[in-house]
Structure 1
Amino acid sequence: MKKLLILGILFLLIFITGCSNGHNTDINKADNSYKKVEKKSLPTKIFDNKTTNSQLSEQEIKDSIKLYLNSDDDLSKAKEYYQDKLDSEEKLSEVDSKEIKQLNKLTRENDNNFYNYIKNNRLPEGYNKYAFKISKYISTSNKVFENLDKQIDLTMNKLTEDGEIPTEDFDEIKYDSKIVNGKEQDKIEKFLKEKNIKTRAFKNTE
């Protein structure tokens, strides 16, 4: 099952419940099976094809979709370390904050570069609809982590005495469930299977 969908949902739910329920930390400490997520290096390769006004071949668009999705998967995996810190109610350091910003920057570039690529070129028959559907699905699911970064900046000076961030400051961390949902994910996975595009982002395509 593709992790991109559940990462945004779990990150939001875990963080908010973690802020409001202090007993979560005790549960994690008591659970000997709990293993902290290992920190990964920030990805260096993202989708950056600047081709414009061209008729793309089927192989070109296949390779582009695969690179875009795999790059996004690498970025998502790198974010898991920071999500795990929030899950265990660890404070984010200045270094963490800078790295989150860099991850968001790379994510935006990956999303924008792919969108501009499919918008400014002519796609082969059968790819136009789903190339844009994939772009919209991924970029929308990424907004949760990006919005969290913005909210952290706004609320770091509002920490309570016990180091928690007021949960009311996170009311706007959400994405459009009409775009990111299981039904849309199934459609994308079906398309990728039909076109034989295997990607780490959608496990059911392998």
Structure 2
Amino acid sequence: MNPIPRLSADDRRAQIIAAVTPAVLEHGSAITSRQLAEAAGVAEGTLFKAFGDKESLLTALAEQHMTDADAAASFESDSLDELVTTLVSVLVERMRFMFQLAMALGPIAQRVAEERREEFEQSKFWIAAHFQPFESQLRVTPLVAAELVRSLAWAAAAGWGEAEPVSSAHDIIQVLLHGIVSSDDRDPSAGTPATASALETQKV
């Protein structure tokens, strides 16, 4: 029988971070070392050996999640509509998670976010790269399209502080693809939203 390979120190740290993330989102920075150990399924001593102390673990958690490495993955899109739908859905989900993380970790997340500000600013360039193949179909440059997508996704994710966000990812997709102004001769394939936005629900 072949022995089970031991995890490297970095892989072990990443495994622990993935395991404790739900607990951190639930309890915030007030989470105890004991709760972290229970969530990770290890002894407290193992946490201290891997990270040094609780704040170092929480900082490492924020640093691992506050990166665009995963979000920058290539999307195989056959059409502009498909690309916008995929991009907005991914960005809104990711940004909502980032807001949850910021609320949970407070000053720790704010410090890491400030350190990663330049990386966030650069994110519009990988988004623009996805628009490049469809440049002839755009009314603006790929970079402007990227900035608009990113800004609208951020607004939908943040909800402007509302308890119930007014706009949804679907709303953003419809506006980007078909505009904000209703028209009798608009593309019939646009259809109607499958799910009403919060604002539409409130009006009903």
TM-score, normalised on structure 2? Answer: 0.34
Q: Relative contact order, CA 8 A, sep 6+: which one is greater?
A: 1
Query: What is the TM-score with the length of structure 1 in the denominator?
Result: 0.34
Find the structure with the greater CA-based Rg: 2
The structure with the greater share of residues assigned to helix is 2
